[in-house]
Amino acid sequence: MHEHRNTAPLALVTGGSEGLGLAIADALAADGANLILVARNHDKLQAAAKELGRHGTTVHTVSADLSALDAPAQIAEQVGNLSDRVDTLVNNVGTAHFASLADTTIDAMNTMWHLNVQVPLLLSQQMLPALLNGHGSIINISSYWAHKMVAGRHSAAYSATRGALNSMTRALANELGPQGVRVNAIAPGAVHTPTYERSYLAPMTAEQRAVHDQQIEHSYPLGRLGTAHDIATAAAYLASAQWTTGAILAVDGGLTIR
């Protein structure tokens, strides 16, 4: 990661209390970054901070619900009380609602549009002065659903938000590059996170799980689901890759090449 006057880099990670966000924060801390973790649940944040403290870097926490319209400004204000420089902003928070076109609701569309598109844009806007001071980078967590569809799973509204996030990533890379700020995204395949376990795997019967596992082996050239560590490794690379901007990095076990 970019060094400044022998001070440790500072990384802000949304959704940093579990799953992908926690793994990404862990990888950045292992590279020497101080952290600011943002999430809704105070107890999970404190547990994450304790876990990440083993790296010896400083871990700050900010309890915030990013579904609130004023959350990006409030987060930026709290971050500003800690530092005037941010080296890495990881826009990890997002949500998914899968429904057929006939069953898609305005509420679901609005929720996804806000969390998956508006929040990354607004938080990047609020953090821009600090990112400029740090000659930092933005890493948006997108999804393969922007351009890879799956038979039997209806994703029009969700896919639209991920496509928008990818386009926004490229546009911001073009806009902010001349000012020294890089903007990239990671498009993961299916990753075995606590959310994936709770919402997708846990309700399955043994037979359904067997079919699921066979589908994974067939769909992924590397033959397995991703892990949070797989995505975190990619984020650590993008945080330090000084001549990489505007990239949408597929970290998906080869899913999107089939």
- Active site residue: 158, 200, 220, 237, which one? 158
What was the pLDDT predicted at 36? 98
Q: Hey, what domains does the chain have and what are their CATH numbers?
A: 10-191+226-250 (3.40.50.720)
As a whole number of angstroms, the distance between CA 204 and CA 201 comes to 6
pLDDT digits (tens), the chain, 258 positions: 444 445 899 999 999 999 999 999 999 999 999 999 999 999 999 999 999 999 999 999 999 999 999 999 999 999 999 999 999 999 999 999 999 999 999 999 999 999 999 999 999 999 999 999 999 999 999 999 999 999 899 999 999 999 999 999 999 999 999 999 999 999 999 999 888 888 889 999 999 999 999 999 999 999 999 999 999 999 999 999 999 999 999 999 999 998
What was the pLDDT predicted at 235? 98
What was the pLDDT predicted at 6? 52
Q: Which tokens hold the place of 165?
A: 């996030």
As a whole number of angstroms, the distance between CA 38 and CA 119 comes to 13
Sheet with 34-39, side-by-side order of all strands: 59-63, 34-39, 10-14, 88-91, 137-141, 182-188, 248-251
Q: Which tokens hold the place of 170?
A: 């490229």
Q: Give the 3-state secondary structure of residue 60.
A: strand
The answer to whether 220 is a known catalytic residue is no
Q: Which tokens hold the place of 189?
A: 């395949």
**To which H or E segment does residue 173 belong?**
helix 156-176
